[in-house]
Amino acid sequence: MTRTADAQASDPNDVAPAIEGLETIVSLSKRRGFVFPSSEIYGGINAVWDYGPLGVELKNNVKRAWWRAMVQDRDDIVGLDAGILMHPQVWVTSGHVGSFSDPLVECGSCHRRYRLDELPGAEELSVGDLADPGVIARFHLVCPNDGGPLSPPRQFNLMFQSYMGPVQDEGSIVYFRPETAQGSYVNFKNVRESSRKKIPFGIAQIGKSFRNEISPGNFVFRMREFEQMEMQYFVAPGGPPAAEAFEAWLPRRRAWYEAYGVDPARLRFREHAPDELAHYAKKAIDIEYRFPFGWKELEGVHNRGDFDLSRHAAASGQNLEYFDPATEEHFIPWIVETAAGADRAAFTFLIDAYREEEVKGEKRVSLALHPDLAPYKVAVLPLLKKRPEIVELCHRIKDDLKRDVMAVYDDTAAIGKLYRRQDEIGTPFCVTVDVDSLEDGAVTIRDRDSMTQERVSVDQVRRVILDRLAAARP
């Protein structure tokens, strides 16, 4: 399939992004330990990013929130964790070996390579144009770097490949999966038989995928190694059951981002034009977010028809039909897929939560992350670190909280600075122990967003925090 560029914002009344540019988020991520460039001491490796101590918490929380909504809260969806490496025939049958590609052009003078549909002046070209060998001359396209001549487009396959076993030849080629979906299709029979699910039912998966993207970038937006959160929903064949599932999943998936704090004004749907559809799709609608660099795909909902199961059944010789005891019919189910990126979702939550404001003449930066997504739920802080009784009480409270949530102790600055540090990483609650606490057995709970403070007895702290977290949960 040829993948076309994501839609760009062209409307002058377009909604403003949550932040102007990416620099603030990139530098906050590095400074506070959300995301680091991979292999940085060796100069980095393009389009791979490492998650630091706070980033891994955030991303795990995003995955947990997705799993809760897609598996835990539902009776009709079960989980799966298939291998990244699969039988190579999977990718031939799925169409990826033949056509999972992007149009690549190269500058004849500086030899830089570009994805054709992302060149200035080529963003709106149709799929037919992008495959036309004469497209460069027809649209007077030149290298954006030095104005040099560009080669005709050639299709560049995005799959990474390696060899399995000690012999490196054609017969030992394996691919790093470019999507998790195929693992769910080839396990359809195993999952259905073992879980005894009746149609309609779904298989959910979270895991790494790999694409040798021609033009990765915009921080973790487009990477070569990334994580997907995909769910394949199997329905009775034919248009109406798939349409019904599609219409139910599309708003449900958008509502998930909103429930975790994304401003609804910065979300929209965009339907794929017929010539833009992936080879497997009968219909596809993207949930887009208004990133600082334009409206871009956050998640796709796809009606894949019976393309995948029919092809795998034919190529493997296995019977992948479902028997419906109610109608006594055998059929290949149709599939409605919800395909999200864990990195892209975490990135979106981070951007959308970023706040700057002036408080008492000073700039306050905070991340208004939903409490379920925040890396730390609570920080326990001493007003006076020189008083051992205060420090000891802090640790007691923190250890108690740690049984249920990520809690942290910090005494490396004055209290005002400690609050700012926690605000900047999105910690929803700070518990402060002061001299009075030693007398009255009470501490202060400070709320990140309102900055209000409330006195709570020490033995109630855990209950109060857990109740507030539970109350915030969608």
Positions of E strands within 112-224: 113-115, 154-157, 161-163, 173-175, 201-210
Q: Which of 117, 213, 352, 423 binds ligand GAP (CB under 6 A)?
A: 213
Helix (H) or strand (E) holding 363: strand 362-367
- Which window, 135-143, 294-302, 318-326, 404-412, contacts ligand GAP (CB under 6 A)? 294-302
If binding is defined by CB under 6 A, does position 211 make contact with ligand GAP? yes
If binding is defined by CB under 6 A, does position 297 make contact with ligand GAP? yes
If binding is defined by CB under 6 A, does position 228 make contact with ligand GAP? yes
Shortest distance (Å) from residue 133 CB to ligand GAP: 26
Q: Which of 57, 117, 230, 352 binds ligand GAP (CB under 6 A)?
A: 230
DSSP reduced 3-state for 366: strand
Q: Is 165 left (phi over 0), alpha (psi -120 to 50) or beta?
A: left
Of 179 and 423, nearer to ligand GAP (C-beta) is 179
Of 346 and 390, nearer to ligand GAP (C-beta) is 346
Shortest distance (Å) from residue 99 CB to ligand GAP: 13
Which parts of 175-204 interact with ligand GAP (CB under 6 A)?
179, 181
Of 117 and 297, nearer to ligand GAP (C-beta) is 297
| Rounded Cα–Cα distance for residues 200 and 177 (Å) | 26
Q: Which of 80, 186, 340, 397 binds ligand GAP (CB under 6 A)?
A: 340
Of 471, 434, 473, 469, which is closest to residue 455 (Cα–Cα)?
A: 434
If binding is defined by CB under 6 A, does position 6 make contact with ligand GAP? no
Shortest distance (Å) from residue 223 CB to ligand GAP: 4
Shortest distance (Å) from residue 278 CB to ligand GAP: 7
Cβ atoms of 457 and 473 within 8 Å: the answer is no
The count of chain residues that interact with ligand GAP, using the rule CB under 6 A, is 19
Helix (H) or strand (E) holding 267: strand 267-271
Shortest distance (Å) from residue 337 CB to ligand GAP: 6
| Rounded Cα–Cα distance for residues 94 and 312 (Å) | 8
If binding is defined by CB under 6 A, does position 231 make contact with ligand GAP? no
Q: Which of 203, 223, 320, 469 binds ligand GAP (CB under 6 A)?
A: 223
If binding is defined by CB under 6 A, does position 96 make contact with ligand GAP? no
Q: Which of 185, 226, 295, 334 binds ligand GAP (CB under 6 A)?
A: 226
Of 263, 261, 281, which is closest to residue 272 (Cα–Cα)?
A: 281
Q: Which of 6, 288, 299, 308 binds ligand GAP (CB under 6 A)?
A: 299
Q: What is residue 72's DSSP assignment? A: I
If binding is defined by CB under 6 A, does position 222 make contact with ligand GAP? yes
HEC letters along 296-354: EEEEEEEEEECHHHHHHHHHHCCCCCEEECCCCEEECCEEEEEEEEHHHHHHHHHHHHE
| Rounded Cα–Cα distance for residues 258 and 266 (Å) | 10
Q: Is 400 left (phi over 0), alpha (psi -120 to 50) or beta?
A: alpha
Q: 234 - beta bridge partners?
A: 201, 335
Q: What is residue 127's DSSP assignment? A: H
Q: Which residues contact 258 (CB under 8 A, 6 or more apart)?
A: 264, 267
Shortest distance (Å) from residue 150 CB to ligand GAP: 23
- Which window, 101-109, 196-204, 295-303, 375-383, contacts ligand GAP (CB under 6 A)? 295-303
- Contact residues toward ligand GAP (CB under 6 A) are 179, 181, 211, 213, 222-223, 226, 228, 230, 297-300, 337, 339-341, 343-344
